[in-house]
Structure 1
Amino acid sequence: MVRLALISGLISLLLGCAGMPASLPYTPPTYFAYRCPDGAFEVKLGDDEARVLHQGSQVVLPLVPSASGQKYQDESGNLLFMKGREALFEGARGMTLKDCKGQLVNTPWRGAAVRGVDFRAVGNEPGWLLELDQERGVFILLDYGSRIIQTPPPRLKIYPLTIQTQDHRITIAYREDGCRDPMSGEYSPLTVTLTVDDTTYTGCGRRLQNVP
């Protein structure tokens, strides 16, 4: 027993002297939200890449040399140029968002507010997202992003809000009784019910006009 204890102590001493490998430095991502005359998008910056999120889709662009500002571009023709608070985003299919003004954001709620979204709600199982912009329209992401629905701005601002399109009937309702996300534990003031055709989704939401 004494010999076993000595061997165990020696192993511990050797491991202690050798030490554990130092962990590599980690740089947390930086998030920006941009609002443009013809649209809006968000950017998540890593060490050598930018992830651009626009209308439910995203592209990952590598950092490339630039005489000024930060330039990210892939072989398909997607381009992001950032300088100060201004940005330009060009999509591979000819879409261009220019004269975009943005700022650093620390939450998706703040990012949506900067992009001009007036009302936002999220839910789980299956994951869904609702963003209502009184100027640009309604954007809905359903079933973990597998379905996207976009509509023109609603004519009325009265809730429950019903939107009838050629393909869908959408109803948005909420209660001001507080809501806590079951996955993250994050609190929001509104419990939101989204009904698309015959399927109802429940989640948490906020009005974003005065999001800090």
Structure 2
Amino acid sequence: MRASPLISSLAIAAALAACQPAQQAGGTPPGASPAGNEVAPPAAAPTSDERVYAFQCGDLAVQATYRGQDAATLVAGNRTFAMANEVAASGARYGDGQGNTFWTKGTTEGTLSLKGEPERACTGSGKEGEVVAAAAPVAATAFRATGNEPGWLAQVSAGDAPRLHVETGYGEQTFEVASPTQGKDGWSGKAADGTDIKLSFQRTVCQDTMSGQGFGATVMLTVGARQYHGCGDFAGAPSLAERP
């Protein structure tokens, strides 16, 4: 008995369908877009752990770019220093292993030490990305002293009208003494709020308890009834390593 043409056609169509590759729902082969074009994966949002702060360090405008907690790039004037985080009992300290260091306590105070140059005190705006105006004149420093735990700073400006600037508590408290009285072993006077301030020194070798750096004077700072101890030196004085 002969098969009808209709039945033969249906059998052939079924056999051909069985040989075709499987398709996704909707007729789209695996791995292809519905239109047959490749679809790019969504772009990841850019992430960055860089933070940029500006400081004025003496006569140098400084830009510090921090990358996380481990590295920083310092642009000081027309020089660039790649630095790594160093151990510090307080604040953040970075160095390049070549005698150049940048030590900050917060984002408004710091110390820049460049090999072969006098140490520079730094001030910052405290705001990320904000530039510190470098046009403002920077008063020359006649004497500078620092101490640790808690961190403090004292500076006596040079010139005909010296001023005594004092910061305690890592810069949280600030005192200004206009025209302090100068004696043979230091300076004294009253701050604007009436606090008695006295900065006295002895010309003896003093070693910083945190950095190990040597200074030519042992210093005691008295603020009201509280005393602070540290090291200091006069402007232009050579480091102990440079002294004969």
TM-score by length of 1: 0.51
**Aligned in 2, Cα 1:79/1:121: closer, same or farther, shift over 3 Å?**
closer
Pairwise mapping of residues 65-144 of structure 1 onto structure 2 (< 5 A)?
A: 74=130, 80=133, 87-88=134-135, 97=136, 100=137, 115-134=139-158, 135-144=161-170
Shift of 1:158: 3.2
CA displacement, residues 31-53 of structure 1 (integer Å, 9 cap, x when unaligned): 86456xxxxxx632235998886
CA displacement, residues 63-109 of structure 1 (integer Å, 9 cap, x when unaligned): xxxxxxxxxxx4xxx664xxxxxx43xxxxxxxx2xx5xxxxxxxxx
Task: Tell me whether 1:202 sits opposite 2:229 in the alignment.
Answer: yes
- Paired with 1:203 and 1:129, the residues of 2 have a C-alpha distance of 9
Question: Could you say which residue in structure 1 is the equivalent of 2:63?
Answer: 45
Question: Could you say which residue in structure 1 is the equivalent of 2:213?
Answer: 186
Structure 2, unaligned runs of 5 or more? 1-52, 66-72, 76-106, 110-120, 240-244
- Paired with 1:119 and 1:191, the residues of 2 have a C-alpha distance of 12
- Paired with 2:162 and 2:221, the residues of 1 have a C-alpha distance of 19
**Aligned in 2, Cα 1:57/1:158: closer, same or farther, shift over 3 Å?**
farther
Amino acid at match of 1:187: G
Task: Tell me whether 1:159 sits opposite 2:185 in the alignment.
Answer: yes
Shift of 1:59: 3.5
Question: Could you say which residue in structure 1 is the equivalent of 2:125?
Answer: 58
Counterpart selection for 2:204 from 169, 177, 182: 177
Question: Could you say which residue in structure 2 is the equivalent of 1:69?
Answer: none
Matched-pair contact (CA < 8 Å) for 1:133–1:153: no
- Paired with 2:123 and 2:174, the residues of 1 have a C-alpha distance of 7
Q: CA RMSD in A?
A: 3.6
Structure 1, unaligned runs of 5 or more? 1-28, 36-41, 63-73, 81-86, 89-96, 101-113
Structure 1 or 2: larger strand share?
1
Matched-pair contact (CA < 8 Å) for 1:190–1:204: yes
Largest Rg, 1 or 2: 2
- Paired with 2:195 and 2:156, the residues of 1 have a C-alpha distance of 16
**Aligned in 2, Cα 1:194/1:46: closer, same or farther, shift over 3 Å?**
closer
Structure 1 or 2: larger helix share?
1
- Paired with 2:124 and 2:201, the residues of 1 have a C-alpha distance of 27
